[in-house]
């Protein structure tokens, strides 16, 4: 039996979960960076830009508590930007 064939023990499962969390964290961090750059480049009023930036900061704060939920919120925000809609306040 090779190491990859053996069943995952509690320690292995925990390491796998930590690696997956780190990968998701890295993805969310990069997508947040990209979203902030896109918001800065928008031709909108200062008030609209401030509101959009606040929405991204809310996603950042949510990532500290629930990374998968924050990733979903960010995906909705980016989808709105992609479709030409200015995202409203992010909801959980």
What global pTM score does this model have?
0.74
- The arithmetic mean of pLDDT across residues 59-82, rounded, is 94
pLDDT confidence of 9, banded at 50, 70, 90?
Answer: low
Residue 53 has pLDDT above 60, yes or no: yes
48 phi-psi bin (left φ>0, alpha ψ -120 to 50, beta other) = alpha
pLDDT confidence of 13, banded at 50, 70, 90?
Answer: confident
- pLDDT value at residue 83: 92
- The arithmetic mean of pLDDT across residues 20-25, rounded, is 86
Percent of the chain with pLDDT over 90: 65
């Amino acid at each position: 039996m090779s190491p990859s064939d053996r069943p995952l023990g509690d320690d292995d499962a925990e390491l796998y979960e930590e690696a997956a969390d780190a990968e998701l964290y890295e993805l969310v961090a990069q997508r947040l960076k990209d979203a902030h750059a896109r918001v800065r480049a928008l031709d909108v009023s200062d008030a609209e830009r401030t509101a959009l930036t606040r929405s991204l900061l809310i996603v950042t704060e949510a990532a500290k508590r629930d990374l998968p939920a924050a990733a979903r919120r960010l995906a909705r925000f980016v989808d709105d930007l992609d479709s030409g809609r200015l995202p409203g306040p992010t909801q959980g």
